[in-house]
Structure 1
């Protein structure tokens, strides 16, 4: 009985230990290129090369700095990086630019078109319902083009409650999960009073990509792992949320390459 009790007591401990040894797949650690915009404007190809040397596997495209999709794809291929998504303005995707935007995603080798923000005039419950209808339409076109669902990238103001309605929840509940997903910016979610882990649990498989951005003690931006956000607690639920890409972002880095190195090192070493 003593042995059985000892073994019985050890097994849960071992299971708990294994549960805390999950790591982010190296192919899932990416850089959202908005972070590197100043460096890209000076030397696009050289910046991509440095990101690849740090260890990044993927990028989210945000701004082309005068290059077309084919030119960016050539530079990515040259250093072994892969684009997984591109931010495209809402008016482009809701207008006549949609077919070209989807063609460009194919050229980039990316999977998801992402709406980076909604116009301020839509920040009402009815405005978000209209956006939800548009997202379903865009997502259907994206799927029919052989791509993934359209994704929405949030900011803090997307989580406010207006006339008793949480705006972000309108998009979650009034879009087709097969057509519309979310690139959750965890900093802006927390800043807006939301909990990323709760989103993952309540809306399974709807968050294929994240913006991994840390919050400084004063509420500003910080390199990933140097701030106040509990990424291990968030990411413990990332699998149910459907997360496949963890894209580093910092809105105003003093040294973008230092931010890239620090953030990659933290995510590569993180166990949860």
Structure 2
């Protein structure tokens, strides 16, 4: 039977082997502040956060967003030359009338096979989209949908499509970028890399099983190895490269920038600050996200994230909320999130 010292020793070996996985950001934050909101120099909102609540009355909804203290918008819902059911020129005027600036937009083509024979279709989509976004007056166009990438060759094809889209946007004075979810932190490894890693893990399991006991009973040994394997599987793999890294490597920095969604990075077992530190010239925008209301979950260290972002020159970010599991109105969550950020001393 393993004692406490043996267990600590085993844990140390795990960490030293690189199998301990990614470090996480712990939260020191408090809940939403109660002070009367004013505003910040930049406080962006991704309109996806409001969905049909905004679409039901766009002018009225935009006025509410302004009253909350938001200064800039990142749009969602582009298609067929419109934002939802609203013509691009009309949406721009509605935003201006509300005192808001449309700075960015999320959009993706309805094409899922990133192959050379499809490149012309991607080009057609992005050329038209750029024209419409010139009308909107945006500074950024960002793709939020993740292509299917299962190999390094897939990543090269996706990178080519992104570079071409970036060129169309750049020629029109717009920066083109990509937004992550958690799937981009899955690793892609060659067959040889994976086989070597699997062999090393089997040898490690045998070593730990011998250290931690289980006697001579084969069933006990099998149960112990299964338990250790399950523990390791939750720690993440360090074999190969993440999809996010492959996208960064296969895109031209002068054509493609990246928007880091800090919540989805954490959900992908990553530390957002480490990515900002490693690629300060590629990340230009942030998505500020939590389980729902910003700052309420206790799992995101927004102070460190903002401090790191400002240190590398990022000043533009957009709040994004998914639907609330308790059925509360999205406008409520967006308003409370604005209060938290406006009253946060670490937000400029």
Q: TM-score, normalised by structure 1?
A: 0.83
For residues 78-93 of structure 1, what are the structure 2 equivalents within 5 Å? Answer: 78-91=97-110
**d(CA) in 2 for partners of 1:123, 1:52:** 42
1:31 aligned to 30, 38, 45, which one?
Answer: 45
**d(CA) in 2 for partners of 1:144, 1:152:** 18
C-alpha deviation, 1:31, in angstroms: 0.6
**d(CA) in 1 for partners of 2:110, 2:163:** 15
Q: 1:158 maps to which residue?
A: 184
1:125 correspondence with 2:152: yes
Q: 2:134 maps to which residue?
A: 106
Kept after mapping to 1: 8 A contact 2:109/2:125 = no
1:74-120 alpha-carbon deviations (Å, 9 max, x no partner): 1101111011111121447823122221122111111111111123x
1:4-48 alpha-carbon deviations (Å, 9 max, x no partner): xxxxxxxxxxxxxxxxxxxxx823211100001121221111111
**d(CA) in 2 for partners of 1:184, 1:77:** 27
1:188 correspondence with 2:264: yes
SS at match of 2:257: strand
2:283 aligned to 207, 232, 254, which one?
Answer: 207
C-alpha deviation, 1:65, in angstroms: 2.2
2:316 aligned to 233, 240, 245, which one?
Answer: 245
1:138 aligned to 150, 160, 165, which one?
Answer: 165
1:94 correspondence with 2:122: yes
Kept after mapping to 1: 8 A contact 2:177/2:257 = yes
**d(CA) in 2 for partners of 1:209, 1:27:** 15
SS at match of 1:172: helix
C-alpha deviation, 1:264, in angstroms: 0.8
Q: CA RMSD in A?
A: 1.7
SS at match of 2:333: helix
**d(CA) in 2 for partners of 1:35, 1:49:** 15
2:333 aligned to 252, 256, 259, which one?
Answer: 259
Q: 1:50 maps to which residue?
A: 64
Kept after mapping to 1: 8 A contact 2:149/2:243 = no
SS at match of 1:83: strand
C-alpha deviation, 1:53, in angstroms: 0.8
Higher relative contact order (CA 8 A, sep 6+): 2
Kept after mapping to 2: 8 A contact 1:185/1:210 = yes
**d(CA) in 1 for partners of 2:92, 2:123:** 25
For residues 2-13 of structure 1, what are the structure 2 equivalents within 5 Å? Answer: none
C-alpha deviation, 1:146, in angstroms: 1.6
Change (3 A) 1:118 1:31: same
Flag the structure with larger Rg. 2
SS at match of 1:96: helix
Kept after mapping to 2: 8 A contact 1:208/1:241 = no
Q: Tell me the matched-pair count.
A: 240
**d(CA) in 2 for partners of 1:196, 1:243:** 13
1:237-263 alpha-carbon deviations (Å, 9 max, x no partner): 102443232211111133211111111
Q: 2:343 maps to which residue?
A: 269
SS at match of 1:27: coil
Change (3 A) 1:122 1:53: same
Q: 1:232 maps to which residue?
A: 303
1:73 aligned to 76, 84, 92, which one?
Answer: 92
